[in-house]
Chains A and B, each alone.
Chain A
Amino acid sequence: MARVVINAPKSAKRGEVIEIKTLAGHAMETGFRRTQTGELIARDIITQLVCTYNGVEVFRAELHPAMAANPLIAFTTVATESGTLEFKWTGDNGYAVTQSAPITVV
């Protein structure tokens, strides 16, 4: 079961720069590890995180195997208007998780 956590303020003042911290539960198998018998373990990572704010992309990250397991990605965005922050993680083997966080801007 794919799990993610979003840490974002529920409300902010218009124009305020808010901090968003996201965490995704994922082993981020690099594709460089081998089993005890020498077989390569296939890569299985999250490859992208996109954050949209009322439908407009405000942040995008492309992840590579050098990202640690259970990837934490923290960034900022300007609180422009009330609405919804939507976060979409996609990755290998059809991994796709979407989660939203409402925000009230006063």
Chain B
Amino acid sequence: MLSAGEIPLAERRSGYEFMSRETRAMQDDEATGPALFSLFDGEALWNRKAGQAGVACASCHGSMKGVAVRYPKVESGRAVNLEQQINVCRTARQNAPPWAYESRELLALTAYVARESRGMPIGIEWNGATAPFLAAGREAFNRRQGQLNLSCAQCHDDNWGRRLAGSVIPQAHPTGYPIYRLEWEALGSLQRRLRNCLTGIRAETPPYGASALVDLELFLMWRANGMRLETPAVRP
């Protein structure tokens, strides 16, 4: 189902490969890597009873292995990402208020859950249920937008490996989210990174959680099928 310009599986390369040896070492450093404290936070949140229902994630859920590589999912007529799913559980099961996007808690718990799938291949299906959202995401990826009138595809399908003002253009596979981005000096979600890109091409940024962004997330994950999850990745 590849369009012209989409990257065949054998040629898919993670952003990891475009980084320097030293930055890769930071990602590989599980003992003192920069995302470590977020993972500790995430673990604490996973085990902490919360909300009026007084239950913890751990009360209902066992291992989260294999979960993050199947997100975003299509549920109740829309694509839902892992952050949104966590908030669904917060509100519907724990009877607790949802966490704000990019809040320390939501990032930490998302990182903790996603980390359990570290090393596993990404697997998003293109089927009857997901097709309309994947198509919307693909259309967004290929659409020129913003004052610079650039599409994602122009940089990330057509010019990956070349430089954009000193930085190497990666293929834009979301293999490690939430990532510790050195530019942010903090953990952040894929949506935060997408909004950075949109700002970069001087396009309007949809609000966090907008379906336009989640559809694009879904497409990007599908486009990265077969690649191994690296959460929490370190990226420049």
Where the two chains meet, the residues of A that have a C-beta atom closer than 8 Å to any C-beta of B are: 3, 5, 7, 21-23, 25, 27, 68-70, 72, 74
> Distance (Å) between the CB of A19 and the closest chain B CB?
11
The answer, among B36, B185, B186, for a CB contact under 8 Å with A5, is B36
Residues of B within 8 A of A68 (CB): 185
Q: Residue-by-residue, is B172-197 near A (CB-CB < 8 Å gives 1, otherwise 0)?
A: 00000000000001100000000000
User: A7 is contacted by which of B32, B37, B186 (Cβ under 8 Å)?
Assistant: B32
CB A81 to nearest CB in B, in angstroms, measures: 25
B40, A7: Cβ atoms under 8 Å?
no
Q: Determine if B137 is an interface residue (Cβ-Cβ < 8 Å).
A: no
Interface centre among A3, A27, A70 (most CB of B within 10 A): A70
Question: Are A72 and B32 neighbours in the complex by a CB distance under 8 Å?
Answer: yes
CB of B31 within 8 A of CB of A70, answer no
Known A3-B40, A22-B32; further 10 A-B contacts with Cβ < 8 A: A5-B31, A5-B36, A7-B31, A21-B31, A27-B185, A68-B185, A69-B34, A69-B186, A70-B34, A70-B185
Question: What is the size category of the interface that chain B forms with chain A?
Answer: under 10
Task: Please report B residues at the A interface, Cβ cutoff 8 Å.
Answer: 31-32, 34, 36-37, 40, 185-186
Cβ–Cβ < 8 Å partners of B185 in chain A? 27, 68-70
Most B Cβ at <10 Å: residue of A7, A27, A72: A72
Q: Which residues of B contact A69 (CB under 8 A)?
A: 34, 185-186
Q: Could you say which residues of chain A place their CB within 8 Å of the CB of B40?
A: 3
Q: Which chain A residues lie closer than 8 Å to B36 at the CB level?
A: 5, 23
CA distance A28 to B37 in the complex (A): 15
Q: What are 9 A-B contacts defined by CB distance under 8 Å?
A: A3-B37, A3-B40, A5-B32, A5-B36, A21-B31, A70-B34, A70-B37, A72-B32, A74-B32
B32 contact set on A, CB distance < 8 A: 5, 7, 21-23, 72, 74
Within the assembled complex, what's the spacing in Å between the Cα atoms of A23 and B140?
Answer: 41
Residues of A within 8 A of B31 (CB): 5, 7, 21
CB A49 to nearest CB in B, in angstroms, measures: 14
Residue of B nearest to A74 (CB): B32
